[in-house]
Amino acid sequence: MGEEKGLYQRSNIRRLAELGKLTPETFRAFLQFDRLALGEGLLSRRTKELIAIAVAHVTGCPYCIDGHVTAAKKLEVSKEEMIEAVMVATALKAGSAYAHGFIALSSYDQSSEEDLYARSNTNRRNELKELHPDAVEAFAKFDRQASKANLLSRKEKELIAIAVAHVTGCAYCIDTHAKRGKQLGISREEMAESIFVATALKAGSALAHSVNALNAYDEI
């Protein structure tokens, strides 16, 4: 018996062409949307590829990571810049879980608040810190380090943060980073472009994983 292949072989991605034959109009429509979302606009292709790499680490799509890292390298994104983008994504994914802790505290106390995403939940930030001070302090330090200007500017990092927040689905994070982005001079149009990169990557993750579905379907 030959060695069993893993579920994420790089060559699997070639089967996307089959999906194009199975649903040609929908497939073409997605490709057109993806090209528009990732193409040059108010944000450069380089910035969009950094956003795409960050988002791909949140969707957990290895095909997307491989494809967008390759594209970014061709645009002369350095390994250090790439990892800065990944660290912003890491902070946002962790931050989403942290922020939802406010809701958990409210639910635990059987709050009668009708709005589960009430802004007032954020007032419980200090309570969360009292319950696990070392972890909260460590997270806050990491978050500050990940978001500060370095090889990537604060504006670039906030564009990444806004995009990632739309993928984690954290309303508190969206509210915070959209406002912070505006303070840094990000326009409404630039914000929209970053959101559409996130949209394309989230949809693209589902599309890319179709090759695994085709493989599984053919095995039976």
pLDDT at 56 over 80: yes
Residue 3 confidence (pLDDT):
60
Phi, psi angle pair for 60, to nearest 5°: 75, 35
Tokens (6 digits) for 95: 């931050």
pLDDT of residue 1: 43
pLDDT digits (tens, 9 = 90+) for 106-154: 889 987 778 888 888 888 899 999 999 999 999 999 999 999 999 999 9
pLDDT digits (tens, 9 = 90+) for 60-86: 999 999 999 999 999 999 999 999 999
CA 154 to chain centre: 17
Which of 53-57, 126-130, 182-186 shows the lowest mean pLDDT across its residues? Answer: 126-130
Please return the burial class of 117, using the count of CB atoms within 10 Å of its CB with bins 0-12, 13-18 and 19+: middle
Non-local CB neighbours of 169 within 8 Å, separated by 6+ positions: 96
Q: What DSSP designation does 148 have?
A: S
Cα atoms found within 13 Å of the Cα of residue 105, Cβ hemisphere only: 20
Q: Is the pLDDT of residue 2 over 60?
A: no
Question: For residue 118, what is the DSSP state?
Answer: -
CA pair distance 85, 81, nearest whole angstrom = 6
What size, in residues, is the chain?
220
Q: What is the pLDDT of residue 4?
A: 63
pLDDT attached to residue 7: 84
CATH number for the region 23-212 comes to 1.20.1290.10
208, 192, 219, 216: which is closest to 13 by C-alpha? Answer: 208
DSSP character string of 12-32: GGGGHHHHHHHSHHHHHHHHH
- Token duo for residue 147: 């978001």
Distance of CA 86 to the CA centre of its chain: 9
Distance CA 209, CA 64 (A): 10
C-alpha separations of 187 from 136, 153, 180, 181, 219 in Å? 32, 16, 11, 8, 49
Task: For the chain, give the mean pLDDT.
Answer: 95
Q: For the segment 159-180, what is each residue's pLDDT rounded down to a tens digit? A: 999 999 999 999 999 999 999 9
